[in-house]
Structures are given as C-alpha cells and as structure tokens.
Structure 1
Amino acid sequence: MSINDIENLFLFIGGLGMFLFGMHSMSDGIQKSTGSKMRELLGILTNNRFMAVIVGALITAIIQSSGATTVMVVGFVNAGIMTLGQAIGVIMGANIGTCITSWIVSLGQLGDTFKAVSPSLYAPLLVGVGAFFIMFAKKAKKKTAGEIIIGLGLLFIGLDFMKNSAADYTELPIFTNAFALFGSNPFLGIAIGALVTGIMQSSSASVGILQTLAATGGVVTTASAVYISLGSNIGSCFTALLSSLGAPRNAKRAAVMHLSFNVIGAVIFGIAMYFLFRLRPTFADGSIGSVGISIFHTIFNIICTILIFPFADKLVSLSGVFVKSHDDDSVSSEDEEVVTLRHLDDRILETPSFAVENAILEVVHMGRTTHENLQRAFNAVLNYDQQAVDKVYETEKTINSMEKMITEYLVKISNLSLNEDQHNIINDLFYSVSDIERVGDHTENIAELIDRNRAGGEIVFSDDAREELKEIMDLVDNSFSYAMSAREKESIDDANQVVKYEDMVDNMEEELRETHIERLSKQLCKPTNGVVFLDIISNLERISDHAYNLAGYVMSEQ
C-alpha cells in the first residue's frame, strides 16, 4: 500500500466523518429551531393515521434518520403516549422522510455543467458563515441558524472528500465485479445493503455512500443500486429492534411493525424489479447516477406506503403474532409510580424537542395525582374517613417517588442539545416538580391534623367553621387546578386565574383567622378544634402560594 493509498483512505474516513457530523449538526439545529412546533406534531398523532404518516415524514426529515424516529416511536408506545395504530402511520411516514437526505446528497453531485449552482461550490462559504454566526451572534436563534448552515456545509464537503478519495479506485475490477455481483444476485445485494446500514445505524448514511460511489464514474449498476437500497431500508430497522430488547410487549410490536413494513415492501419491489431486469438486462447493467438513486429511493418508499396503508391494521395484528402476549404485560394494576417510570422512556430522548414535551406531560401527571390527593384530604376534613386519610398517606409516598424519577429525567434532558426557550422550560419544570411535591406535603399535613387529633377525641367544627373551611378549600382547589391547566396548555388566561384566586385565598385566610380567634375568645368552640382549624387554613394558604408559583413559571416563558 502506497502513501497515496493511505492518504485516500484517510480522506474517505474523514469525509465520512464530516458527512455524518454534518447531518447530525444540521438536524440538531433544525430540532432546536422547531422548538414548540414538536408539541403540535405530537398532537396531530392523536387525530388520524393519514396525518400520522405526514408527521412521521416531517419528523424524519428533521432528524434525518428513520431508525431514530422508530426508536422514538418505540419509546412513545412504551410510555403509553401513542397507540400501535398511530405508531404504524408514523413508521410509514418515516420511510418517506428519510428520502430528504438522498436528495440533499444529489444536490452535491450536480456536476461541472451545473457548477455555478452546485452546493459543493458554496460548501466552504456555508461553513464560514455558520462558524461566524456561532462565534459572534448574540441571539440564540442566530447561533442555531449557524449550526444548521455549518452542518449543511460540512455534509457537502464530506461528500466531496469521499468522492475524490474513491475516484481512483472505482474503475478497479474488484469494484466493477462486486457491483455486477450485487446486481445479478438480489439476495446478496439486499444483504449487503442491510448489513452496511445496520453497522452504520443510518440508512441515510449508507444510501449517501452509495450515491457518492455512483457519482464517481458509472461503477454502480442500476440493479445493484436498487437491491442495495432495498436492503438499506431493512437495515434501518436494526436500531429500533435493538432498542426494543427488554422492553414491554407493545414496544417490541412497534419495532416488529417497522421491520415487517420494510421487509414486505422490499419483497414486493424486489420481485417486481427482478422480473423487470430479466426483461431489460441492458437497463439492469447500465450505470445509475446519484439523482437516479434518489428517484428510486423516493418512489419505492411512497409506493410502498400507498400499497400497504390500507392494510395497516393487518400489520398491527401481524406484530401480535410475532410478539406473543404474557400475563405480566397487563398494566391495569399499575400504580402511579410504575406508570410514571414507564412514561419516562429514555428512547424519547432521541429527539430533545419531544423529550421536553414528554417531561411537561409527566409534570402535569404528577400535578393531577397531587390534586386528587388534595381533594381526598378536603373530603376527610369535612367528612372524616379513615380509609381516605390512609390513602392520602399512601399517595404522598407515590408523589415523593414521582418527584425523584421526574427530576432524574429532567437532568437527562438538560444535558441534551436544547435551545434557549427549552432550557428555560426545563429549569421551570425543576421548580414546578418541587412546588407540586410541597403541595403534597401540605396535603399530608392536613390529613395528619385530622387523624392525629381524631385519636384524642372527635373534632367537631361548628356549622360556620365548616362553611368557612369549605369555601376556602374550594378556592384553593380551583387555584391549583388552574395552575396545572396553565402548565399543560401554556395558557396565560389560566395563569391569570391563579393570580386572582391567590389574592382571594390570602384575604380570606386573614379574615377566617380573625373571626376564628374571636370565636375562641368567646369560647364558642373547643381550643383544640380551634388550633386545628387555624393550622388547616395555614396549610391551605401555602398550597395556594405554590399554585401561584406554578402559574408564575408559565407566565415567565411567554
């Protein structure tokens, strides 16, 4: 091996590295720029399967990896955010979305005829402009734009490096014979495509390399490109399959659906193209360019989706045949702690924007659980029930566990690549979890006041005291309910309602304290009962304070 061969090897490896890093940097920047748009995409998934296909294509076009999209889908299914029926639509769309990278690669292979408009000509300029934005721009949005621009530039430079390093070798007999063999043997061509994609964990990358070789001088035949492209679609399933190992049944079924869809599509197209090539051998043995591969890759994925879409439910059922059910798969008896742990699936971290939205959902879930416990404690105050009090204690332990799990998940998200707005939301969620946990503590305090004093004798509030307690508890209940609604919907109107209720609770707490002290001085109620009354309204006022904090975080994000 000569020094020139070593130089070309290093050039190819470096080009591949820049190509992959460019894809990553570009998709990372696009995800940051989309930000809250991901929430809208997530909402669309609950509508219908056709929209799920579109969303799947959009998400994959952003993150440029159908495998990563499917891994995320596996996480959503495991978390209970998405059903298998919705997941199959996203999986179908993911295969269409992955074609965007092949078209970007094609732009870089326009050739000398279109040199003036070839992205390769402007790639160094893009890197320079992107670096300038990242280094000197003060606004986060401009820095994000810099990431996208520099990623795009590196992608095209990497493609040029690979093309130039491979140009001297593509005319060698070993290359010609290899692609002739892949073209004449469909099974071998598909296997090579699947293997390379499985190793690289990206069909976009493997197809991009194939396109680069195709652009170096006609070494890639049409038949070999077709079969290798079909194999790359199958290979893109390996990431999700590996991710589903050890996951619950539905998560495994989502990964199997992805594999089934791609295998069925590859078989249908493989057979059709095999007979076409037998009828037109000159077409099969003819060379294909980068644009030709993009056209086939796109047509294949769109037609497969159209053909299989009507049988999507059958595909869901087929996954159940391959992944058998077990008794321990039932989630009907899961408590809130187990449900929360299942929802905080690390696979969702594959896409930071969705991870942020998932974290919001889980904080709201914790808030709803705390709200139910608060109402349980209120009922125990007005109508003593030992079982209700015991349930308050039990649920408070769950809330503490939820706080720990969600906080750990938020730490993981905070280490992801987030834009400034997302960082602010995650910081607010840290505080929100703490405030909700404190509401849980005050709820437990109220239950303990009733329970502890009940043991020393029955606590009987006067009719006036009971009415006063009910009135202030209703205000606190509404305040916390609006606070969680504001967090869930990012609603300023709901947050403003919390502010109004907070003022009402503060004023009423002062009035009730004064009137109750007056009742105590006139000996209209027992001193023990009076102390319990004052302690209860004190805890209620603090719960309202925490609701006010929760609303304030939402306001600060607008």
Structure 2
Amino acid sequence: MEISLKLLEIAGMIALLLWGLHMVQTGIQRAYGPELRRFLSSALGNRFKAFFAGIGVTAILQSSTATGLMATAFTAEGLISLVTALAIMLGANVGTTLIVQVLSFDITQIAPVFILIGVLMFRRGGVTRTRDLGRVVIGLGMMLLSLHLVHGAVAPYADAPGLRTVLTAITAAPVLNVLLAAALTWLAHSSVAIVLLIMSFASAGIIPLEAAFALVLGANLGTAINPWLEGGNNSDPASKRLPLGNLLNRMAGCVLALAALEPATNHIARIIPDPAQAVAAFHLVFNLFLAVLMLPTLPLLARLLCRWLPTRNDGSDPAKPVYLDDDAKASPPIAMAVAAREALRMADTLQQMLAGVEDALENGDRKRAAQTRRMDDILDHLNTAIKEYLTSLDVRTFDDRDRRRMREILTFATNLEQAGDVIERDLVNLTSKRIKRGLTFSPEGQRELLDMLERLESNLRSATAVFMNEDPRMARKLAREKEAFRDLEERTINAHFQRLQAGRQDSTETSTLHLDIVRDLKRINAHLVAAAAYPVLKDQGELLTSRLKLPKHG
C-alpha cells in the first residue's frame, strides 16, 4: 500500500512537471506565436541560417513539435525546400536542450518566487501579452517545484535492495533503456520533461550515469515518433517527408551514440562530476553532434524522401494557386488577368474571415475563431504566389497599361493580406479573449460592432468590384467610405462613453475590448479603400497628396 501511494505521489509530481511545461509553451505561443512564425519564414536563406533559426525559435517556444509544425506548413505550401525544413528540425532539436541546461543547476529555491511573480502578472496584467508571460513564469516555477519534489521523493529509495535489483536488470541493456525512454516520451509528448526526470533520477543516485545517457537517447528518439505518427496529411504522402526525415536523423544518431556510449560516459563524468549537469551536457552534445553530422547529408536525404513519398496532386488546398498559369506569361494581358483572378480568391478568403469574426462575436463560437485565425495562412501564401508570379514576368514586353495593372494587382493583394493580418493578430485575439473570460457587451454595443462588420463586408464587395472594373465613380464612393467609417467610429465611441457614464452594462474590461475592436475594424476598412479605390483615383488624378489644410499666405 505504501509503495502504491508513493508511486501515485511521484506520478502527480510528474504531472505537475508536464503541466508546467505546457504552461510555458502555450504562454509563449499566445504571446509571440505569430511574430516567431514570421521570423522563421523570413530567416531561411539556406540550411545553415535555417539551423540557427530553428534553435532560436525552439529555445523560445520550448517545443520542437511547434517548430516542426511551422516548418511542415512552409514546406507543404512550397515556401521553403525540404532541405531547409530538415535543417530547421536539427536546430529545433538543439533548441529544446537549452532549458534543460538552465534547469540542471540547483535553482529550486526560487520556484516560489517565480510562481508569485507569475500570478501577479497574470492577475494584474491588463494587457493580454503580460498575462501570457505571467503564465510562462508560473509554468517555470511549477517545473522547478516539481523537479525538487521528485528528487526528494526518490532519493530515500536510492539504496533499496528491490529497486537496485530491477535497475541492474534494466541498465545492463542500453538498447532497452533507449526503447523504454522512447516509449515514455511518446506517451508524455515531451522530451524536455523526460530528460528532466532522468536528470533528477541520476542526481538522486537512482540510475547510473551510463544508463541515464542511454535514456536520454531514447527521449530524443521518442520525441520524433509523435510527429511521424500524428502529423501531416494522410491523403498526401509528401506531408510525411519532414517527420520521417527527422525520425531517420534521430535513429542514425542514436545508433552511433550507442556505439560510443561507454567512452562518452567516462569522458563526460571526468569533466562534469555533477550527475544532473552531466546528463544535460550529454543531451546538448548529442544534438550538436547530430547536427554537425547530418547537415552536409540533408540534400541526399531530401532526394530519398521525395522518392519514397511522392507528392499527390490535390487541387482542394485553398492555399495553393489555381489560376497562375506559366503558359500565360507569354502574353502580359493574359498574365495580368489570371493574376487578378487569383487575387479575387484572396478577397473571397477575407470575406470568410470577416464572417468568422462576426459569427464568433455574435455566437461566442471559440472554434470558429480558431478556424478564422488559420485562414490568414491562405492569404499569406496566395499573396506570395501572386507576387512571385508577377515579378517573374518580362517587364520589357509591358506597355503602360500592363505596368499600371500589375501595380494595381500587387496593391490589392498586399492590402488584403495586411487586412487579414489585422484580423488574425488582433480581432480574433480580442474575440477569443471575450469568449474565454465570459465577457458580454451591452445589447447596443454588440449591435454597433455587428453593424460595423456588416458594413465592412459590404465595402469588401465594393472593393472587389472596383478592382475588377476600375470604375472611377465606384472608386470615389468607396473612398468616401473611409470618412464615413471614421464618423461611424466616432459616433460609436461617443455612444459607448455615454453608456459608461450612465452606469450601463459595459465594464471597464469590456469597454477596452469594445474600443479595440472598433479601432481594428477601422484599420481593415482603410486597407480595403487603399486596395482598390486609391489606385483608380490616383490614375484619374483625383487623389490628394495630403489631408492637411493648406496654410493661408498673406
């Protein structure tokens, strides 16, 4: 009975460790996820830059799985090569070792301080990012606390005869250690948590150092199993290339490391006498060694993966261009027409995103908000494809009309993509925040926001029509919507403050949300006007260079 209670106690401590790590990962992703994604997509000039980008992003996210999902998405959409994505994963594997390095030192005394600071940030932070960072600090404190508790729980049993007998049988077979740790990591979905536990057991004297190193190899192998089993699109074998490549790299590294396990253990033990720090050092050295070994071979591995897992053509992916025909490049007018048709798909996607925000705002559908956020990727990829298509044309064959139309298409696509960014980064976060906290707007405030959204959808339809027919009358009407929206924003804010002064339903928190949503709707409307109306009016000479009143000269 006592043993069962002790095992249950240790299981609870491990659960606390996993939950603390989960809080760190989700807090960082909520606070900086879009920025890290954009950084990763822009820092991929070659496989070596990609390797260091993978280290940086994963060191912040503390999740090689999250980095792998980004890299898989970029690869599937053709934004980066498979070689670059494999290099990112080698960097991600190194990045996950960095928090283990920090936690290998005895800093458990500051765990309560971390939790206290994190709770204060979470409770007092009026800004969403501050609350998310508070979640991160709480998670770090929970991880430190759980490691301290695990060490205290297992240390008294280090010399238990029964435990010694079992451990002797297990540690006598390094391959068994690798398989055991791989299975535990697959179940826990976290190599960091398993390595930290191995570190605690080694520090308490429960397992010898050589067995701990073999278990670390298993943790590195196990973390590559989940993406292979669960990731990718089952209908397209090509989506499995990156997870399989990462798994093969890990397997090759484990085989080589097992062959040199005994001399590596003796060497590291002489340099680093502390068992916990020795385990952390081996974890880092293994992944660095794997990166140095595999980086030169990535082009060959990528070719093999492409041969084993060929691409299955599927025209149903909304992020893939449909109308950008290479044969049309020979005729600039036709090329402009197909590029404009592709840009209309962006308008359709933006329309769906606005409808998703409206639905989430009206019905409190959190799942709908998440779907809307993901649709921004479609805009990003279509915008990139249109730009690459148009800039690949031979401008020497263009006349003035072709050049003007190309500028109009690029302006239209860029502004729609930027409007989508406002929805993804701001509007969806605001609506999700309202749903999560159970906040409600007053009936009048809710109606005002929905009316603005409906007007915005109408303006998007007008912008699409102006983009297609270049009618100056429609362009002038759309341009006037910018002032109309400004007036509507001012009336909405004034009505909102009047309700606050009258002590109506709106709280201070919903007031901030309400005003932020109004501000973002106005920003989206400005992008729609700039996307379609301004290019036409500028060509007609009807666009002023400034809204400032000219000074009077005496």
Q: Is TM (by shorter chain) over 0.5?
A: yes
Q: Pick from 427, 439, 442: which aligns with 2:463? A: 439
Deviation of 1:252 after TM superposition, in Å, equals 0.7
Name the residue aligned to 1:225: 212
Alignment match, 2:507: none
Asked whether the equivalents of residues 37 and 70 of structure 2 are also in contact (C-alpha less than 8 Å), the reply is: no
Alignment of 1:98-497 (within 5 A): 98-107=96-105, 110=106, 119-216=107-204, 218-241=205-228, 242-244=230-232, 246-274=234-262, 289-324=275-310, 334=322, 359-363=375-379, 436-440=460-464
User: What's the offset of the Cα at 1:272?
Assistant: 1.9
Counterpart amino acid of residue 228 in structure 1: L
With 317-326 and 293-302 compared, the bigger mean Cα shift is at 317-326
Indicate how the Cα distance of structure 1 residues 243 and 208 shifts in structure 2: closer, same or farther if over 3 A, else same.
same
Q: CA deviation at 1:327?
A: 6.5
Aligned partners of 2:86 and 2:245 also within 8 Å: yes
Aligned partner of residue 260 in structure 2, secondary structure:
helix
Give the gaps of 5 or more residues in structure 2: 324-341, 353-369, 388-400, 402-418, 437-449, 483-522, 544-554
Deviation digits for residues 242-295 of structure 1 (CA, Å, limit 9, x no counterpart): 212505233111111111111111112111225667xx69979x9971111000
- Verify the 8 A CA contact 2:115 2:141 in the aligned structure 1: yes
Unpaired runs of 5+ residues, structure 1, are: 111-118, 345-353, 372-382, 384-402, 421-426, 448-468, 481-490, 512-543, 545-558
Q: Which amino acid aligns with 1:318?
A: L
| 1:126 counterpart letter in structure 2 | F
Aligned mates of 1:267, 1:369 — CA distance in 2 = 42
- Write the deviation string for residues 432-482 of structure 1: whole angstroms up to 9, x where unpaired: 8875455346668x59xxxxxxxxxxxxxxxxxxxxx689989999x99xx
CA distance in 2, matches of 1:29, 1:105: 19
Q: State the shift of 1:131 in Å.
A: 1.1
Q: CA deviation at 1:19?
A: 1.3
SS of equivalent to 1:220: coil
Partners of 1:20 and 1:36 in 2: CA distance: 24
Q: Give the structure 2 partner of residue 18 of structure 1.
A: 16
Give the Cα–Cα distance (whole angstroms) in 2 for the partners of residues 433 and 318 of structure 1.
48
CA contact (8 A) 1:22 1:153 kept: yes
Change (3 A) 1:256 1:210: same
Partners of 1:105 and 1:430 lie apart in 2 by: 52
Q: In the alignment, residue 285 of structure 2 is paired with which amino acid?
A: I
Q: Deviations 1:293-345 (Å, cap 9, x if unpaired)? A: 000000111111012111111121232344255576999995669x9999x9x
Q: CA deviation at 1:8?
A: 2.9
Question: How far apart, in 2, do the equivalents of 1:191 and 1:223 lie?
Answer: 15
Q: 2:7 aligns with which of 9, 18, 21?
A: 9
State the distance in 1 between where 2:298 and 2:291 align: 10
Letter in 2 for 1:98: T
Change in 2 beyond 3 A, CA 1:502/1:443: closer
- In 1, the alpha carbon distance for the partners of 2:540 and 2:215 equals 74
Normalising by structure 2, report the TM-score.
Answer: 0.61
Output the CA distance in 2 between the equivalents of 1:365 and 1:152: 36
- How far residue 232 of structure 1 moved from its aligned partner, in angstroms, is 1.1
User: Within 2, Cα distance between the matches of 1:45 and 1:504?
Assistant: 36
| 2:495 aligned residue | none
- Quote the Cα distance in structure 2 between the aligned partners of 1:162 and 1:471: 73
Question: By how many angstroms is 1:16 displaced?
Answer: 1.7
Give me the whole-angstrom Cα distance separating, in 2, the residues matched to 1:124 and 1:429: 46
Alpha-carbon distance in 1 for matches of 2:454, 2:231: 28
State the SS of the aligned residue for 1:211.
Answer: helix
Residue 78 of structure 1: CA displacement? 2.3
- Residue by residue, what CA displacement relative to the aligned partner does 1:208-254 show, whole Å, maximum 9, x if unpaired? 111121222x1221221121111111111122112125052331111
Residue 134 of structure 1 and its aligned partner are, at CA, apart by 1.6
- Counterpart residue identity of residue 57, structure 2: I
Does the CA-based 8 Å contact 1:78-1:248 persist in structure 2?
A: no
Hey, what's the Cα distance between the residues in 2 that align with 1:240 and 1:210? 23
Q: Which has the higher contact order (CA 8 A, sep 6+)?
A: 1
TM-score w.r.t. length of structure 1: 0.60
1:102-139 deviation line (CA, Å, top 9, x unaligned): 223313xx2xxxxxxxx311211221222122222334
Deviation at 1:358, TM superposition (A): 6.7
Task: Give the whole-Å Cα distance in 2 for the aligned partners of 1:366 and 1:257.
Answer: 27
Partner of 2:62: 64
**Distance of 1:51 and 1:473 partners within structure 2:** 45
Q: Match of 1:68, SS?
A: helix
Q: CA deviation at 1:417?
A: 8.4
Equivalent residue, structure 2, for 1:528: none
SS of 1:244's partner is coil
Give the count of matched residue pairs. 412
Q: CA deviation at 1:63?
A: 2.1
Counterpart pick for 1:42 among 34, 40, 43 = 40
Please show how residues 488-527 of structure 1 align to structure 2 within 5 Å: 498=530, 502=534, 505=537
CA RMSD of aligned residues (A): 5.2
Letter of the 1:92 counterpart: L
Cα distance change, pair 264–408 in 1 and its aligned pair in 2 (3 A): same
Q: Give distance in 1, aligned partners of 2:238 and 2:232.
A: 9
Report if aligned partners of 1:180, 1:224 keep a CA contact under 8 Å in 2.
no
**CA distances 1:184-209 after superposition (whole Å, capped 9, x unpaired):** 32221111111111111111111111
Q: Note closer, same or farther for the CA distance 1:231–1:318 as it changes in structure 2 (3 Å cut).
A: farther
Query: What is the identity, as a one-letter code, of the residue corresponding to 2:463?
Result: V
**d(CA) in 2 for partners of 1:232, 1:271:** 17
Hey, what's the Cα distance between the residues in 2 that align with 1:298 and 1:282? 12
